[in-house]
């Protein structure tokens, strides 16, 4: 059971993860459809049946993980363990407190299931590379965001003094809000400059916005390219000699011997 549920690098583990991934995506779709009044009114019984089917499925999976995990307590208190638990709780809360099922907060809380996708996609082999690229880019992106925040604060203050309350810039935070919206090229339009000087500043800020979108993407892409060029770490099984195992493999692909005891 442990190999199937926790070992994503085995055929059985991959099949299990693929089935769960499909179930997670369909269950999220069901939750979304429940918020559409016409669909919910016409297919209420089918949606309720589907919701409880997924709840039973995810509950069984959660129990199996607790049973098969070497350290059940550690899994239960881990991020993904808490996500697994939180994804099934709303249905039981609605069962024990019928009135709570109609609350939007309780119903929307089931959308936390989407975070299970990040756990299940590990079998694709790209999760570690993406995580390493983000970690390597963290300092650069933090410095860049600090610079962007400084620009937004400065430009917001400039617009506050140029436009004033007549144009809707009633405070420095309001001016900074406009600057952030403009830099990110969202452009809600609730506040807009009316004077020529303010429009000039807005134009400069719009041009800066294109760089804001491109720089973080370039930083992460460069790190991902660097990660892809690194040779993948491999481990060799001391029992049969097979050397094509991932660095975090727990069992040998050929003989099934535990790799944990070999690395101890």
Domain ranges of the chain: 2-124, 128-230, 236-264
Long-range contacts of 19-27 (CB under 8 A, 24+ apart): 20/61, 20/116, 20/120, 21/117, 21/120, 21/121, 23/54, 23/57, 23/58, 24/113, 24/114, 24/116, 24/117, 24/120, 25/117, 26/50, 26/54, 27/51, 27/54, 27/58, 27/110, 27/113
pLDDT in tens, 74-95: 888 888 888 888 888 877 877 7
Using alpha carbons, select from 109, 111, 133 the residue that is nearest to residue 227: 133
The CATH number of domain 2-124, selected from 3.40.50, 1.20.120, 1.10.3470, 3.30.9: 1.20.120
Of residues 34, 56, 32, the one with CA closest to residue 44 = 34
Q: 128-230 has which CATH code?
A: 1.10.287.70
Q: Which two tokens stand for residue 42?
A: 């016409």
* 3-state DSSP assignment of residue 9: coil
Q: How far apart are the first and last CA of the chain?
A: 23
d(CA 73, CA 61): 16
pLDDT digits (tens, 9 = 90+) for 179-202: 999 988 887 888 889 999 999 999
Residue ranges in the chain modelled with pLDDT below 70? 2-10, 97-108, 118-128, 230-249, 253-257, 259-264
**Tokens representing residue 77 in the block:** 């208190």
Paired tokens of 177: 């809000």
- Asked whether the beta carbons of 201 and 193 are under 8 A apart, the reply is yes
| CA distances in angstroms from 205 to 167, 176, 185, 195, 215, listed in the order given | 18, 12, 9, 15, 15
């Amino acid at each position: 059971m442990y190999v199937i549920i926790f070992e994503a690098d085995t055929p059985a583990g991959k099949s299990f993860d693929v089935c769960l991934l499909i179930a997670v995506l369909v269950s999220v779709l069901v939750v979304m459809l429940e918020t559409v009044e016409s669909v919910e009114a016409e297919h209420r019984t089918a949606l309720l049946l589907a919701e409880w089917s997924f709840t039973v499925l995810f509950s069984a999976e959660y129990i199996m993980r607790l049973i098969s995990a070497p350290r059940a307590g550690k899994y239960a208190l881990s991020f993904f363990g808490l996500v697994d638990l939180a994804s099934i709780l709303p249905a039981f809360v609605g069962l024990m407190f019928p009135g709570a099922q109609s609350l939007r907060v309780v119903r929307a809380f089931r959308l936390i299931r989407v975070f299970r996708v990040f756990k299940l996609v590990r079998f694709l082999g790209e999760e570690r590379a993406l995580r390493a690229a983000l970690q390597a880019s963290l300092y650069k992106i933090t410095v860049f965001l600090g610079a962007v925040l400084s620009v937004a604060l400065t430009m917001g203050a400039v617009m506050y003094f140029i436009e004033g309350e007549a144009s809707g810039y009633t405070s420095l935070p309001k001016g900074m809000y406009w600057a952030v919206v403009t830099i990110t090229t969202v452009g809600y339009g609730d506040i807009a400059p009316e004077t020529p000087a303010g429009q000039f500043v807005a134009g400069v800020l719009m041009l800066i916005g294109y760089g804001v979108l491109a720089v973080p993407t370039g930083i992460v892409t460069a790190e991902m390219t660097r990660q892809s060029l690194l040779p993948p770490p491999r481990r060799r099984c001391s029992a049969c000699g097979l050397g094509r195992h991932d660095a975090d493999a727990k069992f040998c692909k050929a003989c099934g011997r535990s790799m944990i005891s070999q690395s101890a």
